[in-house]
A = this chain, B = another copy of it.
Amino acid sequence: MTAPMLGIAMVGHAFMGAAHSQAWRVAHRFFDLPVRPVMAVLCGRDPARAQAAAERLGWAEAVSDWKSVLDRDDVQVVDICTPGDTHAEIAVAALAAGKHVLCEKPLANSVAEAEAMAEAAERAAQRGVRAMVGFSYRRVPALSLARDLVAQGRLGRIHHVRAVYLQDWIVDPAAPLSWRLDKEKAGSGALGDIGAHIVDATQFILGDTISEVSGTLETFVTERPLASSHSGLSGTASSDETGPVTVDDAALFLARFSGGALGSFEATRFANGRKNALRIEVNGSAGSLAFDFEDMNVLHYFDGTEDSAVAGFRRIVVTEPNHPYVAAWWPAGHVLGYEHAFTHQAVDFVRAVAEGTDPTPSFADGLQVQRVLAAVEASALSRSWHQV
């Protein structure tokens, strides 16, 4: 009667570590899982901080060297929640060691790293070892529903995709430098951090890929106070010293999808008053969709085939039992939050592992997103359109 165990080792324990921990903790309490995730070990460079995190987040144990988990029999999954510059090394090693890997997005900081990871994942898959990249927004029920509606043909031929991801957490020039503003650690700024999300989400919804882009990048504040620590998302500055911002504050690009749709994308950390406004609109020959993460339980849907006297964007509250993932939770109208998408991600990952199928988004999908980001950067440099 008891489900077999699936031992998890999580690397990293900041924002994403907390979100993933909640997912591992909660998934089997609401969803029927063929194997039960066990929060076996948390890895963090600083032993004291790792130990404290393990206790707070509920991991059985803490270690300071992630490599030590690779030959442990009680670990079947490595969950990578570190900054992007470490993804490739950890993921490739874990896959080689036969561990299933769930890796936070963006897959890597460069196309080269992402290619190595995708190759490693492909080799691993042949041995039954699974890899998945953590584009969690795919698992927000409203976006899963959006994908379903497009796949059912309800929107017809897609003409337009409009996606923005608006934040404002560094609009204040006094906000300190963090690893997210350091190209070495983060790879890029708004582009890779939040732009990656809207690239993945729109490609997912359309079931299509971006084929060419024309973009521009901007750093509005080029020098910032040094932070006292590297821990926080924003934190407070500790001294009069400043350092250079080496990533983009904002990234805008136009895109064309393989299937003919036109795309407009914008990712920024300077949209004053917008905290986490991931917004997507899709217009097709038969209908349209619109989504805003600040109202994440809602999908707006226009059915263009209806009598115009009663046609209008429908505000679908995506909390019905027949909506994706929802039946496991609460009655209709009892809304979900940000973290639930991570639980859904864990559920799908665990099921794929147990059923011996490849979870999505795959590392190849993550690589494709990375190629789009790289094309945007190349395009911004050349000031012209660039193929993905």
B-binding residues in A (CB < 8 A): 15, 18-19, 21-22, 25-26, 29-30, 56-58, 145, 149, 155, 159-160, 162, 164, 166-169, 171, 173, 214-216, 218, 220, 233-234, 250, 252-254, 256, 262, 264, 266, 268, 270-277, 281, 283-288, 293-297, 299-304, 307-317, 319-320, 322-323, 330-340, 382-385
Contact = CB atoms under 8 A, between A and B. Distances in A.
A312 B317 contact: yes
Contacts of A256: 216
B162 A164 contact: yes
Given A309-B320, A336-B337, A15 B216 contact: no
Nearest to A256: B216
A256 B217 CA distance: 11
Contact of A285 (B171, B254, B334): B171
Nearest to A304: B272
A17 B248 CA distance: 47
A138 to B, nearest CB: 16
A288 B272 contact: yes
Given A266-B264, A301-B310, A308-B320, A336 B338 contact: yes
Contact of A276 (B168, B264, B281, B334): B334
11 contacts: A171-B285, A216-B254, A252-B264, A254-B254, A275-B332, A276-B331, A294-B317, A301-B310, A314-B315, A337-B337, A384-B385
Most central of A252, A299, A340 by chain B CB within 10 Å: A252
Contacts of A173: 285
Contact of A383 (B284, B304, B385): B385
Contacts of A383: 214, 384-385
B338 A338 contact: no
Contacts of A21: 29
A268 B160 contact: yes
Nearest to A383: B385
Contact of A56 (B29, B293, B302): B29
Nearest to A385: B383
